[in-house]
Chain A
Amino acid sequence: MSKYASLLSQLGNEICEVEDTEEMYLLRMSDDYQSKIDLGNKLASQYRFKEAVEAYSSSLKIKNDDYLTYVRLAGSFLTIRKFDDAFINYQKALKLLTNEKPVAFTMGAYYYLKGDYSLCRKWVLKSLPSEGELKIAVIYWHTLSSYRLNEAPTLLEDYDTNMDVGHHGAYKLAVELFTGNLKVDEVLSQIDNKKESLDYVIALYGVAVYLESQGEMDLSRKYKEELLKAQTFWPCISYLAAWGDING
């Protein structure tokens, strides 16, 4: 029995073969708000985003004043590429907030996956200032958006080699490529032994879009197809972006 739902079970009609854990069974046995949220989180952790949408939606029938629930619901919709539903729920989350910052990065991801790179840049910038861990992710997506827009990647100026990026080493590796501190081969050699990892997907997608900006379209496509083999990480933004680039 698979631990994670496949991409095709969530974006297509393949049967989802992941089963509930005992804890999830118990959560389904309770009609309270928090149990539905917890169930949604458990389903999302198994990549069962279609069902997570149902769980989060049912929680909102009980209590609808927590922005985080809308963010979770929107994120689940976004992961299964239901862009309109994702947008509606991000807007509801924003209405409950006095400032946009808590939702800014995810809104940026939404616009990137939707193909609106100008708005992606605008929204990810709204999540700054922040600590290095988030900031490096912002620089990464802002730069990829700039490449897609054929504009100068201005946020790279804010990158500091010594910044503390926490566990976001893959973003940093890609940004090192964008700044010219590393070459493509050097990045590839650093991720070659991590092919079944999230870092591999993030870094390789950065390489692919960078190559695209250099006019290396065939090589870019090759790397995107390569990273799509790391199916365990299909719900991550980089994977979904590559999937969208290839499949439209």
Chain B
Amino acid sequence: MKTLYIDCGMGAAGDMLTAALIELLDDSDSFIDTLNSLGIPGVKYIREASVKCGITGTHMSVKINGEKEGEESHEHSHEHTHEHEHTHEHAHDHEHEHPHGEEGHHHHSSLSDIKAVVDGLNISDKVKKDVMAVYNLIAEAESHAHGKPVTEIHFHEVGTMDAIADVTAVCYLLEVLNPEKIVVSPIHVGSGHVKCAHGILPVPAPATAYILRDVPMYEGGIKGELCTPTGAALLKYFATEFGQMPIMRVNKIGYGMGKKDFAFANCVRTMLGMTDENSNDIVELSFNVDDMTGEAVGFAMDTLFEAGCLEVFTTSVGMKKSRPGTLITVLCKASDKEKIVEVIFKNTTTIGIRENKISRYTLNRHIETKSTSLGDVRYKVSEGYGVTKIKYEYDDLAKIAKDNNMSITEVKDIVEK
């Protein structure tokens, strides 16, 4: 299965995700041209090489009407031209370099403003739907944080054109990359406080924290806002699942660099590759029973197979008070675990289930059919690890044997010729 794994060990932001996904493309340069032709008003995407802690990656920035969003043109001009004075004759003058407060730079957009922009873009309906779904997550979070209806929410940091550019780019890139599954690591959100248009807020910011409900996240040891509301919403919307990196064969890796520098490489890492759904994320569930009849155990086993278990088997065990009992072991996909647990409790007398996460190695299997003098017989071909194994379907052999009044061995001898 084509799988995208997103490592958010240093959080995530829209620009970082864009950059990390662009690195997965074969022809990323021409894709920048494509992004610049989407028709986002005044927006120009710029791709830059970036090095963090010795790792080379991509940093994406956006120019709005020729200026980088959030850029302060007045800043530090004095410092650069008069470095000779820096610490001495005019040290106190630095205060003059910040005449503006934080508030003046924010642009405000409503959800309907954003929808109007998105509707006019040169992207598929699916991407438009994805972009608005991501923005709806953000709007819902802002609504919850501020206690206002979604219709009254005005976006601050996320409402600016560069955020629209980031969200659109990520949605578009995922349409192009088209992974069947997206696994996102637990998200490092950072700690401390951050200043925004509303004042000083704890990290993660309330909107981010709300979006990441039910998503594994952690504070980590770094002070700073590592995951933005935009990054959180993109991950929440697109993730098929959150968890550790699955067993996968990776063929492309991308590094999307953030603006800031930390002691750790400030990047989102993406890995695109193949996972083998037959061989990973298997859970073993087991339980002992000493008060079920053989018939009841048989019924439970059948029910468990029907529920999707990969394997169900029993082992005779001696239990407490010298009672002979049955250990029932079930293998199932991790994604099916909750459902299987329900089936076990419903169909057995157990009051507790043990769980082990296990790995297994399997051969790739497919079914073929062989025409024989006795009729068609299906057989399973299992391949991998340098071997190929063939096994005829017992049900087919048994049916032929019964129909022709033959033994299984006789049928098998004829079929194998």
Q: Decide whether A and B assemble into one complex.
A: yes
Please give the residue numbers on chain A whose beta carbons come within 8 Å of chain B beta carbons, in ascending order: 4, 22-23, 25-26, 28-35, 41-42, 44-45, 47, 49, 61-63, 68, 71-72, 75-76, 78-79, 102, 105-106, 109, 127, 133-134, 137, 198, 202, 235-238, 240
- Flag if B95 contacts A71 (CB, 8 Å): no
Determine the distance from Cα of A105 to Cα of B83 in the docked complex, in whole angstroms.
9
Determine the distance from Cα of A33 to Cα of B261 in the docked complex, in whole angstroms.
5
Instruction: Note all chain A residues with C-beta closer than 8 A to B86.
Output: 71-72, 75, 106
A interface footprint on B186-215 (CB within 8 Å = 1, 0 otherwise)? 000000111100001001000000000000
Asked whether any CB of chain A lies closer than 8 Å to the CB of B223, the reply is yes
Determine the distance from Cα of A4 to Cα of B83 in the docked complex, in whole angstroms.
21
Asked whether any CB of chain A lies closer than 8 Å to the CB of B260, the reply is yes
Determine the distance from Cα of A199 to Cα of B195 in the docked complex, in whole angstroms.
37
Asked whether any CB of chain A lies closer than 8 Å to the CB of B346, the reply is no
- Flag if B263 contacts A238 (CB, 8 Å): no
| Other-chain contact of A32, B88, B89, B261 (Cβ < 8 Å) | B261
- Flag if B192 contacts A235 (CB, 8 Å): no
Q: A30-B224, A32-B224 are in contact. Are A61 and B84 (CB under 8 A)?
A: no
Q: How far is the CB of B174 from chain A (nearest CB, A)?
A: 28
- Flag if B89 contacts A26 (CB, 8 Å): no
| Other-chain contact of B224, A29, A137, A238 (Cβ < 8 Å) | A29
Asked whether any CB of chain A lies closer than 8 Å to the CB of B90, the reply is yes
Asked whether any CB of chain A lies closer than 8 Å to the CB of B82, the reply is yes
Q: A26-B193, A41-B94, A133-B82 are in contact. Are A62 and B263 (CB under 8 A)?
A: yes
Instruction: Note all chain A residues with C-beta closer than 8 A to B89.
Output: 198, 202, 236-238
- Flag if B200 contacts A75 (CB, 8 Å): no
Q: Write 24 A-B pairs (CB below 8 A) sorted by A numbering.
A: A25-B193, A26-B194, A26-B200, A29-B194, A30-B194, A30-B224, A30-B225, A32-B260, A32-B261, A34-B260, A44-B87, A45-B95, A61-B263, A62-B261, A72-B86, A79-B88, A105-B83, A106-B87, A127-B84, A134-B82, A137-B84, A236-B89, A237-B88, A240-B88
Instruction: Note all chain A residues with C-beta closer than 8 A to B203.
Output: 29
Asked whether any CB of chain A lies closer than 8 Å to the CB of B91, the reply is yes
| Other-chain contact of A235, B82, B88, B222, B263 (Cβ < 8 Å) | B88
**Other contacts beyond A29-B194, A47-B91: 17, CB < 8 A:** A22-B200, A23-B195, A32-B261, A45-B94, A62-B261, A63-B261, A72-B86, A75-B88, A76-B87, A79-B91, A102-B83, A105-B84, A106-B84, A106-B87, A109-B84, A235-B87, A240-B88
Determine the distance from Cα of A22 to Cα of B102 in the docked complex, in whole angstroms.
13
Q: A26-B194, A71-B86, A134-B82 are in contact. Are A35 and B224 (CB under 8 A)?
A: yes
- Flag if B87 contacts A79 (CB, 8 Å): yes
Instruction: Note all chain B residues with C-beta closer than 8 A to A137.
Output: 84
Determine the distance from Cα of A76 to Cα of B223 in the docked complex, in whole angstroms.
25
- Flag if B83 contacts A71 (CB, 8 Å): yes
- Flag if B94 contacts A44 (CB, 8 Å): yes
Q: Which B residues, 260 to 288, have Cβ-Cβ distances below 8 Å to chain A? A: 260-263, 266
A interface footprint on B365-408 (CB within 8 Å = 1, 0 otherwise)? 00000000000000000000000000000000000000000000
Q: How far is the CB of B217 from chain A (nearest CB, A)?
A: 18
Determine the distance from Cα of A63 to Cα of B359 in the docked complex, in whole angstroms.
41
| Other-chain contact of B84, A4, A26, A72, A134 (Cβ < 8 Å) | A134
Asked whether any CB of chain A lies closer than 8 Å to the CB of B92, the reply is yes
- Flag if B83 contacts A45 (CB, 8 Å): no
Determine the distance from Cα of A240 to Cα of B91 in the docked complex, in whole angstroms.
13
Q: How far is the CB of B27 from chain A (nearest CB, A)?
A: 31
Q: How far is the CB of B92 from chain A (nearest CB, A)?
A: 6
Q: How far is the CB of A65 from chain B (nearest CB, A)?
A: 9
Determine the distance from Cα of A109 to Cα of B192 in the docked complex, in whole angstroms.
39
Q: How far is the CB of B290 from chain A (nearest CB, A)?
A: 57
Cβ-closest chain B residue relative to A77: B87
Q: How far is the CB of B114 from chain A (nearest CB, A)?
A: 29
- Flag if A236 contacts B88 (CB, 8 Å): yes
- Flag if A72 contacts B262 (CB, 8 Å): no
Determine the distance from Cα of A51 to Cα of B82 in the docked complex, in whole angstroms.
23
- Flag if B223 contacts A30 (CB, 8 Å): yes
- Flag if A75 contacts B262 (CB, 8 Å): no
Determine the distance from Cα of A109 to Cα of B88 in the docked complex, in whole angstroms.
9
- Flag if A29 contacts B192 (CB, 8 Å): yes
